[in-house]
A = this chain, B = another copy of it.
Amino acid sequence: METKHIVVLGAGFGGLTFCQAFNHPQARVTLVDRQNHHLFQPLLYQVATAGLSAPEIAQPVRSILSDRPSVTVLLDTVVDFNLAEKKVFLEKNTLAYDYLVLALGGVTSYFGHPEWEQFAPGLKSLDDALRIRRRILLAFEKAENETDAAARDRLMTIVVVGGGPTGVELAGAFAELVRRVLRKDFRRIDPAQARVILIEAGPRVLAHLPPGLSASAQRQLEKLGVEVRVGVKVKTITQGRVEPENGRIIEAENIIWAAGVSASALTQKLRTELDHAGRVKVKPDLSLPGHPEVFAIGDMALVLDQDGKPVPGVSPAAMQMARKIARIIRDELDLGAGHAARPPFKYWDKGTMATIGRSAAVAKIGKLEFTGFLAWIAWLFVHLIFLIGFRNKLAVLLQWTYSYLAYKRGARIVTGLSEAARSKN
């Protein structure tokens, strides 16, 4: 039998898990990503809030897969597809495939207002996180230098738009950063006077959790000093200003957008049916209609679970999908395509959690609900277990222990000042 070529696009949780789960003597795999690293996205907010350094939540893809000689890693960017001819066009290469795994993930979505991005950056990549960290830390440096009281207040205000898990985690971590960590570092300003405002359009934060947990999360946020404003819809965002549809304009040097995610724009080049967020509507076996050799998984796929509800865009779901198609492809290589109907994907919900701050979190595991310290310990434990790479686990554990004991943050380093200055000119 000739060797089959499987092309995997994206080295996030989905693509990487596929490469780790799949192995077949008659197949070779090519994994393509724009970046040289796999990013542990659930901890990205800690890089943005100066709790962790970038390499601690990222691992070189090549290094993770160095013990898989059948996998070739390419640093390249996807440009277009020709599904009829089974080809993918990259910036530097063209790849012909027998099976194609689409795992390109999601991008920040501004709900039809792409012009807001420049004023309210989202958080999807390490570069995003480092940029946000730089802007927040520099705002306090500017405030220390500012004599005008109103300008100083604006510099010391952070708005987070969106009360989902990312928004809640960011708001909590910013509040801890400014109120506790930076407290003693300045002479002219008092960072404890800084404001962190969380805006959510819906009636409660963490809408995917039961109402009791949402209420608990809001209480825990407020205890940390976050101003939580629910039912506030954003009308427009300009430089340093958020204007809600209802309520007063907020002036804030830093506005972070955590309100929406849509699928990678590349899904539009697939000529297949998409939902409103640009996600590919896949069949129950995760393949594209009319293309049993093409699969879409993770944040770029709309997958319905047993009850007809969309599977949430979380990493455990992407990993389950990756293992599922690894099994499907392996079986077909062993027994021939069409040997049997492919079984549908079933999502196993292991639970949901969100962390808010030091000893503050909410978690739902099965029918059990936890809040506060217990939920926080569960969150720590789960994230350490799943953080890829032994070294990173140790380094992150060390950082967290240190932060917990010393109320400091290790990664409060601004880099890229010269590059930022250059790109302004």
By a beta-carbon cutoff of 8 Å, the part of chain A in contact with chain B is 34-37, 53-56, 58, 60, 62-63, 66-67, 69, 72-76, 92-93, 125-127, 130, 137-138, 141, 144-145, 182, 184-188, 391-392, 394-395, 398-399, 402, 406, 408, 410-419, 422-423
On whether the beta carbons of B417 and A419 are closer than 8 Å, the reply is: no
Copies in the complex: 2
A-B contact sample (14 more), CB < 8 A, given A63-B412, A72-B188: A35-B414, A35-B417, A37-B412, A54-B415, A55-B411, A58-B413, A76-B145, A92-B145, A125-B418, A130-B416, A391-B408, A395-B395, A395-B399, A398-B398
Cβ of A35: which chain B residues have Cβ within 8 Å of it? 414, 417
Contacts of A69 in B (CB 8 A): 187
> What would 29 A/B residue contacts be, using CB atoms closer than 8 Å?
A35-B417, A36-B141, A36-B414, A37-B413, A53-B53, A53-B54, A58-B413, A60-B185, A62-B182, A66-B185, A69-B187, A73-B144, A73-B185, A74-B144, A75-B144, A76-B145, A126-B415, A127-B416, A127-B419, A391-B402, A391-B406, A391-B408, A391-B410, A395-B398, A395-B410, A398-B398, A416-B416, A419-B419, A422-B423
Residues of B within 8 A of A74 (CB): 144-145
**How near does chain B come to A189, taking the closest CB pair, in angstroms?**
11
Prevailing SS type, chain A contact patch: mixed
A12 CB → nearest B CB, Å? 15
**Chain B nearest CB: distance from A377 CB in Å?**
22
